[in-house]
């Protein structure tokens, strides 16, 4: 039997910025705890203030290093910051592994920096269902900027944009990078492009290529995505990136785009949760599905009618 959870107490402590309470609440999200609806309802009035910034890009491009450099710059500006590293390819128990992956030792002892990793594979709602809940915890804890980074490989590169207000796309100099980006659909989702590893040859060429490609994309013309060159290992360019994040935040608010993006995010979250709920209930009707399948195979029932029966039975 799980230990009873004192949700109001946890939330009160998280709002005071107590790291242990924040960590515990995010664990509840990760574990798909039955207490989540209560947590979610209690958090709701304290959310909506954090600027959610997604970082995406191919493995090895420098996401972790850049995140650390951005945290340092944001702290210089006195911001309370959180980092949420999501690994969509790890099962829930992957937390410890992820802990090693997030190399943020320079920020470990700073009480105004929350660093948390979360696995989303196996979470019924997937990244779209799990991440917003964890983000709400960090938002309610008073984090002004939350950096969301996906680790590992997969679809998540584009998915992270769905949970962010502002999406940073990281690239590195090198042949074909621009073309790869176009393939991955990454050009469409970038609000700010960062060419990291600018200490290597080809950074200006990559910038030129990227500028052409970004110029061609069918986008809202009130925001032209800036392209910033950085050397994350030295913190170079972090100041400019943070300036651009702030500019984009101002743009989102003044154009009404922030609300639009957040409504779209809420919608995806609702859909993910509803689908998860249906899936869970279908699972509970396991034997019933088998029975229907036998009837369909025998020609006694058509699959549409069977599905309808199932949905009727599970609602």
Site of interaction with ligand GDP (CB under 6 A): 57, 59-65, 196-197, 199-200, 231-233
Q: What is the dihedral of CA 249, 273, 131, 150, to 10 degrees?
A: -110
CB of 278 to ligand GDP, least distance (A): 35
Q: Which is nearer to ligand GDP, 65 or 120 (CB)?
A: 65
CB of 12 to ligand GDP, least distance (A): 35
What φ, ψ does residue 121 adopt, rounded to 5°? -70, 135
Reference 167, options 186, 144, 181, 153; nearest CA is: 186
Q: Which is nearer to ligand GDP, 207 or 265 (CB)?
A: 207
Q: Which is nearer to ligand GDP, 120 or 196 (CB)?
A: 196
CB of 169 to ligand GDP, least distance (A): 12
Give the C-alpha distances (Å, rounded to integers) separating 278 from 253, 268, 312: 35, 15, 11
Residues 6+ apart with CB under 8 A from 87: 94, 98, 101, 117, 118, 119, 120, 121, 150, 151, 152
CB of 308 to ligand GDP, least distance (A): 46
CB of 196 to ligand GDP, least distance (A): 5
Q: Which is nearer to ligand GDP, 64 or 166 (CB)?
A: 64
The C-alpha atoms of residue 207 and residue 54 are separated, in whole angstroms, by: 21
Q: Which is nearer to ligand GDP, 28 or 241 (CB)?
A: 241
CB of 195 to ligand GDP, least distance (A): 10
Q: Is 223 helix (H, G, I), strand (E, B) or coil?
A: coil
The C-alpha atoms of residue 37 and residue 133 are separated, in whole angstroms, by: 10
Q: Which is nearer to ligand GDP, 118 or 140 (CB)?
A: 118
CB of 17 to ligand GDP, least distance (A): 27
Residue 256 CB neighbours (<10 A): 9
Q: Is 147 helix (H, G, I), strand (E, B) or coil?
A: strand
Residues 6+ apart with CB under 8 A from 44: 136
Residues 6+ apart with CB under 8 A from 116: 22, 23, 26, 82, 83, 84, 85, 134, 138
Q: Which is nearer to ligand GDP, 145 or 169 (CB)?
A: 169
């Amino acid at each position: 039997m799980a230990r009873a959870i004192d949700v109001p107490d946890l939330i009160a402590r998280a709002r005071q910025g107590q790291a242990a309470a924040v960590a515990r609440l995010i664990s509840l999200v990760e574990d798909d705890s039955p207490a989540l609806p209560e947590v979610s309802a209690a958090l709701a009035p304290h959310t909506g203030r954090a600027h959610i910034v997604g970082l995406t890009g191919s493995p090895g491009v420098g996401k972790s290093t850049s995140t650390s450099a951005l945290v340092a710059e944001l702290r210089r500006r006195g911001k309370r910051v959180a980092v949420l590293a999501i690994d969509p390819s790890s099962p829930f128990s992957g937390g410890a592994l992820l802990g090693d992956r997030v190399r943020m030792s320079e920020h470990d002892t700073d009480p105004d920096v929350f660093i948390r990793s979360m696995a989303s594979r196996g979470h019924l709602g997937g990244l779209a269902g799990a991440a917003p809940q964890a983000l709400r915890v960090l938002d309610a804890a008073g984090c002004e900027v939350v950096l969301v980074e996906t680790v590992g490989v997969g679809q998540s590169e584009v998915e992270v944009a769905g949970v962010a207000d502002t999406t940073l796309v990281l690239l590195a100099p090198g042949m074909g990078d621009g073309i790869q980006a176009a393939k991955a659909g990454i050009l469409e989702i970038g609000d700010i492009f960062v060419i990291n590893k600018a200490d290597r040859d080809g950074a200006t060429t990559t910038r030129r290529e990227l500028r052409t490609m970004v110029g061609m994309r069918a986008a809202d013309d009130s925001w032209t995505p800036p392209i910033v060159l950085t050397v994350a290992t030295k913190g170079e360019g972090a100041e400019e990136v943070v300036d651009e994040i702030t500019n984009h935040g101002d743009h989102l608010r003044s154009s009404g785009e922030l609300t639009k993006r957040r409504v779209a995010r809420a919608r995806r979250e609702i859909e993910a949760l509803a689908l998860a709920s249906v899936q869970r209930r279908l699972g509970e009707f396991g034997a019933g599905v088998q029975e229907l399948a036998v009837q369909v195979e025998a020609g006694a029932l058509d699959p549409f009618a069977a599905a309808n029966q199932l949905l009727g039975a599970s609602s």
